[in-house]
Structure 1
């Protein structure tokens, strides 16, 4: 490493982050690992004892569940999480958000997380990078766009996000959307300003102040991605807090690559095939619905969890036993198994979920969490009764419930899979769980053959 390179490259951790859900947390871990930055994702606040087992780590994450939580919950839970991560000494502390900016003033408020988090770093600005071209997310003049099947949509017209059951996106301008969640000043470095490093830095310095403003940075392509990474890295000062998607990780990696600090070509190990996988899905996304259909048409045992029975205290255990029993029988015969709770946004149980929750005397958010808990119990029974070595969980909330229920302490990347959803290796004090391979998949992630790809350990064309 040259003398010039060393001047850009501090010792120790480069970044610490809190993920607002589990799938997004593995997405960020994948981006850093692929760039040659060993990353550990903790499921509880990182302890010195745990980190001592991974001396070469340059990035540490903490998987959370704030995307589905209230501002009051954030006030109680996030200060401790941010304090533990800030204590690790990384120059960048990130609140990792979804690249579709899932949030509202009442649920998963990104603004509230920023207001809490900026207190833990000394920076005079709070950068925000949301665009991530690898995930087909693009930001221009502050407006967020996403592609589905090669068709681009402004986010308030996106076929899924515009009708999200909890946090529907009715505004694509992220400045307007975020302003509903915080009183903090919000600025923008647009892609025109980014074309000149000097112009971008000069604009940024006019925005900096003692009460750090949020400064959004457009990302459209690889050039703006690297420029965003350069701006964050060069203007990090004594340390900054940022609420960003994994676009931040990709941006930093692009800048570090330009400096010759990380490998020119990102790479992850390749996994081999396994005979069977076990999967559960709590996702309502049309992308996941297509993946469920693919699994059904390609030899998987696919079974629906009856939500009415699963949410009724009197029938819950029996319904979990029923669904898990069918899956276990299939796995015992050498057939991969998938248990799901919904098949797309037009599923009758999705459209009627408020009524289902009301009949169970639960709020919508309570019912959603109970569905995740039921799927976690189904997965637990599948693992206890078979020797399946590889599992998949689809849906951010479901992923958090399942991973927590399995007694996993931390995750690292085992292999590449679909962009944004790597195959992970579980670290656990429980020998039965240590070494388990697990993929946590967000609703919008992956091709139709995703479940088959995980089983085969490679992308299916």
Structure 2
């Protein structure tokens, strides 16, 4: 294994796997820290954790376990994969995990770049944009777990880390990999070891990748991986092979726990032509709605030839009200437990295709199903590949809330079923 990656959620990890697989690396996504060594021939291994919103000390412990496993597989470079909208709080978890990984590796510095221009995430003068909006004006300021209230990534990261935060501006990035690398080293020499690097185009990410050749440690969104495969290819280290993809037509269902604007529009669009079950924290916590009841409803619709959608994708104001009544953690746990239970029951009922929206929801579903590893298939939408369970005939799409167009659900079902994307 050449490149070892630690993802702080499951959708971001599959997003990263998609980027690396398209770059020509034989890539496997592991669901949690594996107990056994990797199979031969894996060139990029991604250990997907569900650590983005847990307590910082627990996130650090899980990430260090993942790092130890990846190093045991022979990895030459480590990437800590974070969200392209830098989802975190002033307490963490990005800073504490980055500090711990950097210390364990003995790395002198790390590039930090969440940018992913293909999905509208760009970084300029240290400020993160979503499309033409600053991050804190993009809707992410209303995120129920990690409200992003400052677009200046330097300022947002600083309270989270003891490593110091530096910056390489776009003008230096545009000057090329040598200038960029020199600027990173200069920032680290000045005591600013986590160095935020601007990127507004894919070409910038490729330049960052070239500058990162030989660096021990990186922090970023999946876009930062655009330039990494070429470093290993230039060293004659890539096989050039990859696993073939086969879809699996069969019973399908959609689960949505994201409250992002993009997902809410996808749910609205899907509701126009298919059955949708609305799920609320109130109904779950009162016992009015259960995974068993939802599975019965869904399997009945599947039997009638439909593809049902179970959605907890309310407007952020509604979510905030529910959190105020029940507590943020209790409401979130109820939703995640529900979707994990529902996914298990749907698979037991014969469902062979699952489309899941939302990072936390995807993590709950993967853990609930007990999946160990996922093979990477074709891209459904930027940042969202088709996935195949390694140990059974189940195909999945795990979508970050903000990804995909209005008809993403129908598009994902088609690709999972074997139609060309």
Same-fold status (TM-score > 0.5): yes
Whole-Å separation in 2 of the counterparts to 1:197 and 1:377: 48
Tell me how large the CA RMSD over aligned residues is: 2.7
- Unpaired runs of at least 5, structure 1: 1-12, 358-362, 429-433
Whole-Å separation in 2 of the counterparts to 1:73 and 1:193: 37
Whole-Å separation in 1 of the counterparts to 2:203 and 2:414: 34
In the alignment, which residue of structure 2 is the partner of 1:367?
331
1:435 counterpart SS class: coil
1:66 counterpart SS class: coil
- Unpaired runs of at least 5, structure 2: none
TM-score of the two chains, using structure 1 as the length reference: 0.84
Of 182-191 and 195-204, the range deviating more from structure 2 = 195-204
Whole-Å separation in 2 of the counterparts to 1:230 and 1:120: 24
1:18 counterpart SS class: strand
In the alignment, which residue of structure 2 is the partner of 1:77?
62
Check if 1:425 corresponds to 2:388. Answer: yes
Task: Summarize the alignment of residues 41-440 of structure 1 with structure 2, pairs less than 5 Å apart.
Answer: 41-49=29-37, 51-52=38-39, 55-106=40-91, 108-147=92-131, 152-158=132-138, 160-194=139-173, 195-209=175-189, 213-234=193-214, 236=215, 240-253=216-229, 274=249, 276-298=251-273, 300-312=274-286, 315=287, 319-346=290-317, 348=318, 350-357=319-326, 363-385=327-349, 387-428=350-391, 434-440=392-398
Q: Structure 1 pair 271/290, CA: closer, same or farther in 2 (3 Å)?
A: farther
Check the 8 A contact 1:452/1:460 in 2, yes or no.
no
Whole-Å separation in 1 of the counterparts to 2:307 and 2:275: 6
Which deviations, in whole Å up to 9, do the C-alpha atoms of 1:358-397 show, x marking residues without a partner?
Answer: xxxxx41232022111011112212212x22211111111
Of 20-29 and 120-129, the range deviating more from structure 2 = 120-129
Whole-Å separation in 2 of the counterparts to 1:43 and 1:94: 16
Whole-Å separation in 1 of the counterparts to 2:201 and 2:112: 16
Which deviations, in whole Å up to 9, do the C-alpha atoms of 1:13-55 show, x marking residues without a partner?
Answer: 2211111111101101111111110111111313445x22xx2
Q: Structure 1 pair 356/213, CA: closer, same or farther in 2 (3 Å)?
A: same
Name which of 395, 410, 414 aligns with 1:452.
410
How far has the Cα of 1:226 moved from its partner? 1.6
Whole-Å separation in 2 of the counterparts to 1:81 and 1:37: 20
Check the 8 A contact 2:167/2:187 in 1, yes or no.
no
Q: Structure 1 pair 198/400, CA: closer, same or farther in 2 (3 Å)?
A: closer
TM-score of the two chains, using structure 2 as the length reference: 0.91
Which deviations, in whole Å up to 9, do the C-alpha atoms of 1:159-212 show, x marking residues without a partner?
Answer: x21221222212111111100211322112222112143332332332335988
Q: Structure 1 pair 355/216, CA: closer, same or farther in 2 (3 Å)?
A: closer
